[in-house]
Amino acid sequence: MNVPEQTTRQDDAALDNYRAIANAIATLFFPHAEVVLHDLRTQKVDYIANNLSKRAIGDDSSLEDMVSGDISERNIGPYEKLNWDGQKIRSLSSVLRDGTGHPLAVLCINLNISLFENAKAALDLFLSPSKLIPQPDSLFRDDWQERINTFLHAWLRERQLSLNLLTRDHKRELVLALHAEGAFKGKSASNYVANVLNMGRATVYKHLKELKELKG
């Protein structure tokens, strides 16, 4: 298993638990997350797990505002910023307090979302309806399977039912509804409906026979 790079000053036991948490988060989301621990007492970067930002231990944190009494939030974000390589980072910062409630450190989780944005863009392009053309008449004019599928799922939506949870009575009702729509005029329609509804072909014929006798 890949393990994120860890760098630390390791000179303050008071922050050991937070370093362990930083390691856990960075490992879980490796290689896409960096976790930075800022010591508010020294205003320096204390620890970095999976360094993505090219910061260094001992860099100035510039978080003086965090030690003022005006900061009441425990979690700040998520917010976005730009990394050194131009990739977009989504961040969340947690203010960590000591036993008296005084701000002790800030744990910043920085997630590189560029990979996810690229994947989303690829999916959006692939699934874009603008790439579709209307169904060609030459292919769909007599497509009885398409008509059965369209009617079947409209029927399910109207009744808020799921295909794989249909009861025996639901299936019988659906077979009769399909018959009323002329769905069984297709040569292999009975076989297709039986397969889709996960029922025997003989059962489909039985329901159709009952309907015919009822009308006759």
Tell me the C-alpha distance between 19 and 98, whole Å: 15
Give me the domain span that covers residue 62. 15-118
Looking at the 3D structure of the chain, how many domains does it have? 2
80 Rama class: left (phi>0) / alpha (psi -120 to 50) / beta: beta
Q: Is there a domain that residue 183 lies in? A: yes
| Lateral strand order in the sheet of 44-49 | 6-8, 44-49, 33-39, 103-112, 88-97, 75-82
What CATH number does the domain containing 40 carry?
3.30.450.20
Model's pTM, two decimal places? 0.59
Residue 135: inside a domain: no
Query: What does each of the 216 residues of the chain score in pLDDT, given as a tens digit?
Result: 455 655 555 556 889 999 999 999 999 999 999 999 999 999 999 999 999 998 999 999 888 887 766 667 889 889 998 888 888 999 999 999 988 888 899 999 999 998 888 888 888 888 777 766 665 554 444 577 888 888 889 899 999 998 888 999 999 999 999 888 888 887 788 898 999 999 988 999 888 888 887 775
